[in-house]
Amino acid sequence: MKTSFNRYLEIDLTNQTFRHGQLEENRLRQFLGGKGVGLSLLVEQDRSIDPFDPENPLIFVTGPLTGSLIQTSARSAVVTRSPLTGNFLDSHAGGHFGPALRRAGWDYVSIQGASDLPAYLLITPEGAQFLDATDLWGKDVFETEETLRARHPGSKVAAIGPAGENRVRFAAICTERYRQFGRGGAGAVMGSKRLKAVVAVGTEAIPYADPERFRALSQELLAELQQHPNAKRRYDLGTMMWIRMGQEIGHFLPTHNFRDGQFLAYEGITAETCKRELSWKSVGCYGCSVIRCSKLARWNGREVEGPEYETAAFLGSGCEIGDAKELADANWLCDRYGLDSISTGVAISYAMECAERGLLSPEMNEKLRFGHAEGQQALIEDIAFRRGFGDLLAEGTRLASRVIGQGSEAFAIQCGGMEISGVNPLGCYSMGLNLATADFASHTRFWSATDEMNGNLTLDALPAYIKAGQDEINARNSLIICDFLPFGFDRLAPFMEAVTGFPTDAESLMKAGERIQSLSRLYNLRTGRSHADDTLPERFFSETSFAGLMKGRVIPKLFFEEQVQAIFQLRGWDAEGRPLPETLQRLGLSSSEAQGVPA
C-alpha cells in the first residue's frame, strides 16, 4: 500500500550528507506519525552521552493530518533529548512551518551530528542543501527570519536566536517570528549543532488515500465547527480567557511563584484588557479559518502574537506583573531572543522569591522584586546572553536551585527538570498528578483543569481519568491536530482512514497513545529519569490547597504516591515505573526497546 505520510530525510551535519527513503508501514501503524513516530526514531537513533552531544538527533516531524484539508491542520513538532530534563521531548508549534515541510517533500527530517561552522539547511524536494550562516550567527530571531525569507522566496523558516546559540537550556526554535517549538530547550540542541535555521520550500501536494472522502469529511466538520460555542469563544478571547477563569472560577492562576492562586492585579492582563490595550487582531494558523485563537498585538511601535495564557500566567501573574503592555514587552523579548516564555517566567519568579527571602547577592535582592517589570526584562536579556546571574538561571530552575540552595529547592517549581506549566496545583490537584506522571511536566500532556474547576472529578476516579487523558493527547499529538479542535476520536478516526488508508477507530488510536506513553517511559528511564522524579516540589506538600479537589487540605505525600502507583498499575508498570514484560508484549514493543533501562 502506498502510504501518504512516510517520506523520511536523514541529514548528517558533520559530513554534510543526507539520505532519504520511506519509513516502514508497521511503524506508522503503531505510532501514527508526529510525536509517536518521532519518539520511535529517537529511541533508535539517540546514542548521546548528554543532550548537547552531536549524537543527539533533532527530529522535525509532521503528522498524517498536517497540512491537510481538515481545520487546524497546521501543527508539527520537534523531537529530541531535552537539555532541560535530559529526557524525552516533543515540542509543538502551529503557524505554517509544518505544512511547508510536507510541501517540501518530507514528513520526517532527522538532523544528526554538528557543523564545524554556523550553518543553515535549505530543505527542498531534492533533499538538503548545507549553507553558510556565519552572517546570521548572533542575530535575533526576527532579523534571521526576515533575511532568510527574502533570500529564499516562498519559504518558511524555523530558526534560533541568541538564547539557542548560547545553549540556554530552555531556548526555543522559532517560526514566523512569534511562534515557537517552545518547551524543553530544543533551541539549545539546535545551537549545539551550530545550526541557525531550517528553511523549507516546495510545492509538493499533500497526498490522500481517499481524497474525495477526506474532502467530504472536512466540509462536514467545518460546518459543525462554525456553529460550535468553543470556537467562537476562542476567536473572541484566545487562550487568554483562562486568566479570568483561573482567577475568578478556578482559583488556580499561578501567582507569586505559585504561592497563591489569585492575583490582585489580574484585571490588567485579562483578555478583555489586552484586546483594548494591545489593539488585538485575531489571526489563524495554516488551515484555521474559524477558531483563529492567536492575537496579533500592536503597542508602542512593537508587534507580537500574544500574549498567550501560559505567557501571561508565568511572566505576568507569576511575577506579579499586572500591566498588559509590560507583559507584552516581556513576551516580545522572549520571542526576539528565542526563549520559552513559560520556563523563563517560572525561573524568574523563582529568582524573585529567592531575592524576597534575601538568598541572593545584595544587588540582586534589591533588583529582583515581584511586580518590577524593569528588573524582569533586564533579567530576560541576561538569561538569553548568559550574563551575570542570568547565566545561572539559563541552566534551568532545577540546576539553579541546587547552586543557590538554602532551602530554595522547595519553591523551585519544576518536575524532573521541567518548569511546570498550566495552573497552580494548590488550586487544581489533578493537574499536579498529571504533571508528575507525564513524560515531562507540561500542560501540553493533558489539560484536566476544566473538569476539576467544573466539579466533574473525584479523587477515586482520578488515576484512570489521567491515564486515559494522557493517552488521548499522545495520539492527538501524533496525528497531529490542534488541541482546540473540539472533536473526539469518533470524528477523527475516519479522517485517518481517508488520509492513510489504514483501518482506524477510537480504540486503536487510544492504544497507540498508550504505546507511546510506555515507550517514552522506557526512553526516559534509559536517559536518567527515575521514580524519584515522579513527584512535585515540596511547596505543594507543605502549603494548604486553596481550591479544587484538595481545597483546605495539605496534599499528603503518601496519598499522592498511592495515586501515582495506581496510574503505574493501570499502565502495567512496576512500582518504579518500569513497563512490565507482559505490557511490552501487549503493546507490541520489543524487548530491545527496553535495553539500557536500569533494573
CATH of the domain at 572: 1.10.599.10
Q: Which domain holds residue 46?
A: 7-200
What's the Cα-to-Cα distance from 422 to each of 174, 281, 310, 435, 488, rounded to whole Å?
Answer: 21, 24, 6, 9, 22
pLDDT given for residue 597 in this prediction: 72
Neighbours of 542 (CB within 10 A): 12
Instruction: Check whether 594 has a pLDDT greater than 80.
Output: no
Q: Which residues fall within 8 angstroms of residue 387, CB to CB, at 6 or more apart?
A: 381
Instruction: Supply the pLDDT for residue 5.
Output: 72
**Domain count within the chain:** 3
pLDDT band at 1 (very low <50, low <70, confident <90, very high): very low
436-492: pLDDT as tens digits: 999 999 999 999 999 999 999 999 999 999 999 999 999 999 999 999 999 999 999
Single residue among 350, 380, 412 that ends a domain in this structure = 412
User: Residue 2 falls within a domain, yes or no?
Assistant: no
**What is the CATH classification number for the domain harbouring 283?**
1.10.569.10
Q: How far apart are CA 597 and CA 258, in angstroms?
A: 34
Question: Is residue 268 domain-shared with residue 406, that is, in the same domain?
Answer: yes
Give, as one character, the DSSP assignment of residue 254.
-
Residues 85, 528: contact at Cβ < 8 Å? no
Q: Tell me the Ramachandran region of residue 540: left when phi exceeds 0, alpha when psi lies from -120 to 50, beta otherwise.
A: alpha
Q: Are residues 138 and 165 in the same domain?
A: yes
Let me know if residue 65 belongs to a domain: yes
pLDDT > 90? residue 591: no
Please tell me whether residues 370 and 449 are part of one structural domain: no
Compute the 3-state secondary structure of the chain and give helix, strand, coil in percent, each to the nearest 5. 45, 15, 40
The CATH number linked to 113 is 3.60.9.10
Distance of CA 45 to the CA centre of its chain: 22
Query: Average pLDDT for residues 295-316, to the nearest whole number?
Result: 96
Grid coordinates representing 279 are: 489593539
449 and 361, same domain (yes or no): no
Instruction: Please indicate, yes or no, whether residues 368 and 244 belong to a single structural domain of this protein.
Output: yes
| pLDDT 10s digits, 103-153 | 999 999 999 999 999 999 999 999 999 999 999 999 999 999 999 999 999
Q: Is residue 222 part of a domain?
A: no
Residue 392 C-alpha cell reads as 545561572
Q: Which residue has the cell 504516591?
A: 561
CA pair distance 330, 307, nearest whole angstrom = 9
Query: Looking at the structure, do residues 167 and 64 belong to the same domain, yes or no?
Result: yes
List, in sequence order, every residue forming a beta bridge with 398; answer none if it has no partner: none
User: Is the model's pLDDT at 2 over the cut of 60?
Assistant: no
Instruction: Give Cα separations from 378 to 141, 178, 327, 393 (angstroms).
Output: 18, 20, 13, 13
Q: Which of 412, 439, 456 is the endpoint of a domain? A: 412
Q: Which pLDDT does position 599 carry in this prediction?
A: 64
Please, how many CA atoms are within 13 Å of residue 454, restricted to the half-sphere of its CB?
Answer: 5
> Do 132 and 166 lie in a common domain?
yes
Question: How many Cβ atoms are within 10 Å of 363's Cβ, its own excluded?
Answer: 11
Tell me, yes or no, whether 495 lies in a domain. no
Q: Enumerate residues 6+ apart whose C-beta is below 8 A from 318.
A: 254, 255, 256, 257, 258, 345, 346, 349
Q: Which amino acid is at 333?
A: L
Percent of the chain with pLDDT strictly greater than 90:
97
- Regarding whether 578 and 470 lie in a shared domain, the answer is yes
CB 305 within 8 A of CB 328: no
Element (H, E) at 355: helix 341-356
Cell of 312: 501571561
Q: Within a domain: residue 218?
A: no
Contact 339, 323 (CB under 8 A): no
The verdict on 64 and 188 lying in the same domain is yes
Which of these, 425, 427, 426, 396, lies nearest to 412 by C-alpha position? 396
Residue 494 lies in a domain: no
Residue 332 has pLDDT above 60, yes or no: yes
Q: SS3 of 209, please?
A: coil
Question: Where is the domain boundary, 412, 437, 469?
Answer: 412
User: Using 50, 70 and 90 to split pLDDT, how confident is the model at 4?
Assistant: low
Mean pLDDT confidence for 217-242: 94
Check residue 265 and give its pLDDT: 98
Are 184 and 441 in contact by the 8 Å Cβ rule? The answer is no
Q: Which residues are paired to 12 by β-bridges?
A: 17, 112
Those residues with Cβ within 8 angstroms of residue 38's Cβ, 6 or more apart along the chain or in another chain? 59, 61, 77, 79, 90, 108
Does residue 490 form part of some domain?
A: no
> Are 261 and 196 found together in one domain?
no
SS (H, E, C) 147-168: HHHHHCCCCEEEECCHHHHCCC
For residue 418, is it within any domain? no
pLDDT at 544 over 80: yes
Q: What is the pTM of this model?
A: 0.97
Shared-domain flag, residues 408 and 433: no
Euclidean distance between CA atoms 277 and 307, whole angstroms: 12
Tell whether 132 and 267 lie within a shared domain.
no
Mean pLDDT, all residues of the chain? 96
